[in-house]
A and B are shown apart, each in its own frame.
Chain A
Amino acid sequence: MTRPTRVQLFVTCLVDRFYPSVGHAVVAVLERQGLDVSVPMDQTCCGQPAFNGGFTDDARRMARHTVDVLSASPDPVVVPSGSCADMIVHRYPELLADDAAYAARARDLAARTFEFTQFLVDVLHVSPAAEPDGPRLAYHASCHGLRGLGLVEQPRQLLRAVAGDRCTDLPGAGICCGFGGLFAVKLAGISAAMLASKIEAIAESGADAVVATDVSCLMHIGGGLHRRGSRVRPLHVAEILAGTRHD
């Protein structure tokens, strides 16, 4: 796609409510690229909790709402979450396939929706400047971005550019942290055991911060780290790129 001048930000419900600083970091990075960033006021949740829970009708309702909100403008949509981007890109067109009023618009939205790092690398061809100092970072590859959108290189490329050798992959970077939305509540024991393995890997990495493209995983991992009194910080990749946490 040609380089756009304007983008819409679908910030995701978790960033909106729990991590507004990540949203600001995303805006800062995009604006620094000379883009005009709009944040549609009426955006809410992409519907993934309902979809993954088997509540298809409820998911469809939320999908329609999001399609409406993001179709007011034809601008590309940037989502700082592989999971929510995957929902819009892959699930919306299926969910709304039989809905005459929405099917075409859902496909159109899917075609212009990008996960944040994917947008930076594949569309804007950003190569951020190296930061000589900063925390040692360990990268966790969030599942839906990795396997749904194929985000293998994009986040790593950006992190390596900024942090160089200070950034490594977590051991078992692509193994799920156990979040899985309602799974973390419905099968809390299994989820917590998966989290414990992830936290072992973080400890093993010796990093100061664990970085991911999705705050859902970071919320889960961060909650486990905090419970254990760990000093390792969970950071969204946008926070690294915006320099907002390079203290």
Chain B
Amino acid sequence: MTEASARFHRSVAEALADPHLRQALDRTTGRLAGGLAKAFATIPDAGALRDTARRIRAHTIAHLDQHLDQFERAATARGCHVHWAPTAADATRLVVDIARARGVSLAVKSKSMVTEEIELNAALGAAGVRVVESDLGEFVVQLADDRPSHIIAPIVHMSRDDVARLFEDKLGARPDEVADIPAITAFARRTLRQEFLQAGMGISGVNLAVADTGSLCLVTNEGNGRLTTTLPRVHVAVMGLERIVPTAADLGVVLQLLARSATGQALSVYTNIITGPRRPATSDGPGEPDGPDELHIVVVDNGRSRLLGGELAEILYCVRCGACLNICPVYHHIGGHAYGGVYPGPVGSVVSPGLMGLDEWSELPHASSLCGACRDVCPVRIDLPRLLLNLRAQTVAARMGPAWLRIAMPLYAAIATRPVLYRWLGSLAARLSRMMGHDGWLDRLPGPLSAWTTERDFPVPAPRSFVQEHHAHAPRAGGCE
């Protein structure tokens, strides 16, 4: 087993042994999944809307280069600076350079998964720029020196008490200042307000960018996104290469699904559409009163374009709603951290190996029972099980995974395509296991199969198989019609 595999299995075991985590996950994922079901019940033909959204995403990804070109032209015409970052290192360097050139020492940031992916905070920190997370969840994560465990609800693994204690320890909050969630929120807001006023740079992600207008769409449920993108003099928006829709009408379709799938809302509380930086006064008019002087858009590839045209390209349709996490029974039991990467859950099990290769991430595609609940819930109908299967096949082709299985499976296939041998060996195995079983059950299986019997018994095979009995005209099961 590689070091990466061992690490994964260790973190899974730790997560499973944590009853506190399980409770926290039960609470939030259940609520989010329930909210989704209710929110979808309010649109007359949700299925058709999903089909439309899928078509939009599929079309966009199939012609991504054209849409990105169009976006760059439109955004530039609106006064934005568009930067291309082939790798995570390129992306962080670009942002650091922008900060340095403008003498920025403090940046506020709204929630963004792609900046987690490229580890932007660490890069800016190393360059002497302090970054303050302004989304409440991310603020808590940063304060606790933790990692987000969900793409929408970063502190789904924590309880309210955990946060209250953290604020007391790290920020010196009094008990009455963290007595309940509104108090906690108000306390965080007071703490953050000062930072907003002093920050020289606001950093945000991008939920979706509109190709034909050059606009950026950001959805949040806290006002922080709005402050981040309007108050500081410089706004840097970091977006994954694939986060684009052709037109504003397309954006409308996807947004309806995004809000419902993410949080069960018909529309997120704040849906911001940003087109260019603040427009200065001209002879035609007074200009805009607020907004940044500069708007930089950093478009991050970091492995995405490698997926284009391939069998995993479908994962680029993803709008990062998190619904597949909330519905996933595996996520439900192990939470986000166990997945190791920035993107947990079914989507993460495709994205992490997809973007970063299988060497470090070969276990994730196997960490699924392939129940298909994620495919059913995905607003853009990504066939996640199929993508996981594709990655599994890649791991086998690369001779990754347990050695015993690489021997056992071809052997099984060889036997199963030789019916006489299959029947004979089946009967032999039945006889042997009957000698080891009690009352029709085995409480220990040999070798790697013993993992089954750690927590469940295994039935002893029947002395004669059904096919053998049937063909021997054994007494048929009676009915009582």
Contacts and interface: CB of A to CB of B under 8 A. Distances in A.
Interface of A: 11, 13, 15-25, 27-29, 32, 39, 41-45, 47, 49-56, 58-59, 61-62, 64-65, 69, 129, 143-144, 146-148, 174-176, 178-197, 219-220, 222-224, 226-227, 242-244, 246
Interface string B451-481: 1101111110110111101110000111111
B466 A44 contact: no
21 contacts: A11-B467, A16-B465, A19-B462, A20-B465, A20-B469, A39-B466, A41-B419, A45-B412, A53-B409, A54-B389, A56-B393, A58-B412, A69-B419, A147-B375, A176-B371, A178-B329, A193-B16, A219-B458, A219-B459, A227-B457, A243-B481
Nearest to A12: B466
B94 interface: no
A242 B409 contact: no
B372 A224 contact: no
Contact of A58 (B375, B389, B410, B419): B410
B396 A55 contact: yes
A190 B373 contact: no
Given A184-B452, A193-B16, A242-B479, A44 B370 contact: no
A224 B456 contact: yes
Interface residues of B, number: 67
A44 B419 contact: yes
The list of the 9 closest CB pairs from A to B, nearest first, reads A180-B369, A54-B392, A23-B466, A24-B477, A176-B371, A58-B413, A188-B451, A223-B456, A20-B466
A243 B480 contact: yes
Contact of B16 (A19, A50, A190): A190
Interface string B330-346: 10011000000000000
A39 B470 contact: yes
B480 to A, nearest CB: 4
B455 A227 contact: yes
A178 to B, nearest CB: 6
A117 to B, nearest CB: 17
A227 B422 contact: no
A220 B471 contact: no
A28 B457 contact: no
Given A25-B477, A243-B480, A188 B410 contact: no
B452 to A, nearest CB: 6
B416 interface: yes
B371 A222 contact: no
Given A56-B393, A195-B456, A23 B371 contact: no
Given A28-B476, A42-B419, A62 B413 contact: yes
B367 interface: yes
A64 B12 CA distance: 37
Contacts of A220: 456
B455 A187 contact: no
